[in-house]
Amino acid sequence: MKSFYLTTPIYYVNDAPHIGHAYTTVAGDVLTRWHRQRGESVWFLTGTDEHGQKVMRTAEQNGVAPQAWADKLVEDAWKPNWHALNIANDDFIRTTEPRHMDRVQKFLTSLKDKGFIYQGDFEGPYCVGCEEFKLPGDLLEGNLCPTHSKPVENVKETNWFFKLSEFTDRLLAHYKNNPDACQPESARNEVVAFLEGGVRDLSISRSTFDWGVPVPWDTDQVVYVWFDALLNYATAVGLTDDPESEGGKKFAQTWPADVHLVGKDILRFHAVIWPAMLMAAGLEVPQKVFAHGWLLVGGEKMSKSKLTGIAPSQITDHFGVDAFRYYFLRAIPFGSDGSFSWEDMSARYTSELANDFGNLASRLAAMVEKYCGGLLPAVARDAELSAALEETVAKADAAMQVLDFQGGINAIMDYCKMVNGYVTIKEPWILAKDPANQQALEDVLYNTAESLRALAVLLHPVMPATTEILWESLGAKATLGEIAAQRIDAVATWGQLPQGANVTKTPVLFPRLEVKE
């Protein structure tokens, strides 16, 4: 079976991660966890981009060799950061690994053999921050990069070129025939307009420094960092390996990638250069490139170079990891820019997570303990709750399929609100006062527990740790098995929690926030 294959950008190791990087990776993690719970085979790749002048110069400024610098950042900053955020990637690729570098060289040689690489003279402005050749018309005040507000450098070299311009018409036809291949629509429109404006061949090697993959037939040159980096998506799963080998089999099982998640800053690399490279090699192009928006600070893209980067731990120390994972996907439509605000996050934490979700769970556990000795009463079925759950699952699944995380989470949280409304109306604490209402009381408790079972499963991709606690407290782990093994397509089947399941009080799922000084 072909795997659902999702990638994040590979991040530069010039600095430690900030919440902009975490935004992309968490989105990828949520989506891949969702697909795993749909019963699909999934492959989720992230990693680091370690070559090029940007990383090389940072290492130099710190008085360390680039490899030692990259090793340190990967081990001390990037990997621990993803671990702390509960990211369940299947692989982590570093562009300095031999498995990557060897395959880049093989790929490049094959493109040269096919006649897509030629030698030429290059002269033009280059921004090291973007690692990108610019057109004079792109610059502000004649020589400033519009992204970094820093002067560009003039590069004049003889190097190797890729015949990118030959692919303009095929790329345009591709996006016209496959609107899904670049999303959201605004991103596709941008790419199409860019292609319609005409595309030049691309210089894909550099000779003035040596921190990169050597060009196999001209080792005085290293491969342009973006050409090297884009290939990670394919080298990590066995590009160029013999079809009968392990790598070749992995490639057949994963390629083409289903989703490349990227920030809109790097859309053109992914939607123009990358598919052209694949077309040149006779390989399938990715099913979808999705460009999400930026987290803004003071109206500008959050970035380390502008000293506006917020470390994920600054937020998770206060709100916890699951609230972090929830908040950005819930608050910002995926594809649009959004500003981070401490106040907004506190407000949503309290109303949606602590009150709507966390309190429901703790109230249920307290009532089952008090009124039923901690054992779940017999199976009951509230027709309205059960029908609403079916609708919720259909809506959430449809939204997740198109990377509408906000729509998906909203559908689930609306159901949570509905269950709260159900408990409020039924007033089990009043029913409990009269033994004649015992049956009604037990029905309410069972229906609430069963709704929480579904909420735990549906929110598991977003908040894996908290839902796991809830799962155990519902007695679900002991009776239904691991939460991660629960299928989205079965979650709406009512009556899964068995009578007698042992419901226990949870530690508070979302504790009251400490007042910030």
- Which of 266, 480 has the CB closer to ligand MSP? 266
Residue 169 and residue 286: Cα distance in Å, rounded? 17
Among 12, 167, 319, 510, binds ligand MSP (CB under 6 A): 12
> What count of Cα atoms within 13 Å lies in the side-chain half-sphere of residue 474?
31
Stretch that binds ligand MSP, among 9-17, 211-219, 318-326, 362-370 (CB under 6 A): 9-17
Known active-site residue 370: no
Stretch that binds ligand MSP, among 5-13, 132-140, 488-496, 497-505 (CB under 6 A): 5-13
Known active-site residue 372: no
Among 190, 265, 369, 390, binds ligand MSP (CB under 6 A): 265
Residue 308 and residue 301: Cα distance in Å, rounded? 8
Q: According to the binding rule CB under 6 A, does residue 302 interact with ligand MSP? A: yes
- Write down the catalytic residue from 145, 182, 372, 416: 145
Q: Give me the residues paired with residue 157 across strands.
A: 122
CB 265 to ligand MSP: min, Å: 5
Q: According to the binding rule CB under 6 A, does residue 116 interact with ligand MSP? A: no
- Which of 12, 326 has the CB closer to ligand MSP? 12
Q: According to the binding rule CB under 6 A, does residue 263 interact with ligand MSP? A: yes
Residue 476 and residue 453: Cα distance in Å, rounded? 8
Find where tokens 């939607």 sit: 271
Binding-residue pattern over the window 15 to 44 for ligand MSP, x denoting contact by CB under 6 A = -----xx-xx--------------------
Residues whose CB is less than 8 angstroms from the CB of residue 312 and which lie 6 or more positions away in sequence, other chains included: 17, 18, 19, 22, 81, 84, 85, 324
Residues whose CB is less than 8 angstroms from the CB of residue 169 and which lie 6 or more positions away in sequence, other chains included: none
Known active-site residue 148: yes
Instruction: Count the neighbouring beta carbons within 10 Å of the beta carbon of residue 46.
Output: 27
Known active-site residue 416: no
Binding-residue pattern over the window 230 to 249 for ligand MSP, x denoting contact by CB under 6 A = x-x-----------------
Known active-site residue 130: yes
Residue nearest to ligand MSP (CB): 20
Known active-site residue 477: no
- Write down the catalytic residue from 54, 100, 127, 264: 127
- Write down the catalytic residue from 130, 182, 372, 416: 130
Question: Is 152 in contact with 143 (CB distance < 8 Å)?
Answer: yes
Sheet holding 202-203, edge to edge: 132-133, 117-127, 153-162, 202-203
CB 341 to ligand MSP: min, Å: 15
Among 4, 5, 9, 290, binds ligand MSP (CB under 6 A): 9
Is the link from the previous residue into 312 a cis peptide, with omega within 30 of 0? Answer: no
Question: Is 450 in contact with 342 (CB distance < 8 Å)?
Answer: no
Q: According to the binding rule CB under 6 A, does residue 94 interact with ligand MSP? A: no
Find where tokens 């030692």 sit: 68
Strand pairing of 218-223 and 214-215? antiparallel
Stretch that binds ligand MSP, among 3-11, 117-125, 351-359, 458-466 (CB under 6 A): 3-11
Among 4, 5, 11, 510, binds ligand MSP (CB under 6 A): 11
Q: According to the binding rule CB under 6 A, does residue 262 interact with ligand MSP? A: yes
- Write down the catalytic residue from 79, 112, 134, 148: 148
- Which of 235, 240 has the CB closer to ligand MSP? 235
Q: Can you tell me whether residue 460 is helix, strand or coil?
A: coil
Q: According to the binding rule CB under 6 A, does residue 295 interact with ligand MSP? A: yes
- Which of 74, 295 has the CB closer to ligand MSP? 295
Known active-site residue 174: no
Strand pairing of 117-127 and 153-162? antiparallel
Residue 141 and residue 144: Cα distance in Å, rounded? 6
Known active-site residue 304: yes
Q: Can you tell me whether residue 8 is helix, strand or coil?
A: strand
Instruction: Count the neighbouring beta carbons within 10 Å of the beta carbon of residue 333.
Output: 15
Among 294, 334, 422, 446, binds ligand MSP (CB under 6 A): 294
For 458, counting Cβ atoms within 10 Å of its Cβ (0-12 exposed, 13-18 middle, 19+ buried), the class is: buried
Instruction: Return the structure tokens found at 16.
Output: 């430690």
Among 5, 6, 10, 404, binds ligand MSP (CB under 6 A): 10
How many residues at the interface with ligand MSP, by CB under 6 A? Answer: 21
Residue 136 and residue 159: Cα distance in Å, rounded? 20
Q: Which residues bind ligand MSP (CB under 6 A)?
A: 9-12, 20-21, 23-24, 49, 229-230, 232, 262-263, 265-266, 294-295, 301-303
Return the active site residues. Answer: 18, 21, 127, 130, 145, 148, 301, 304
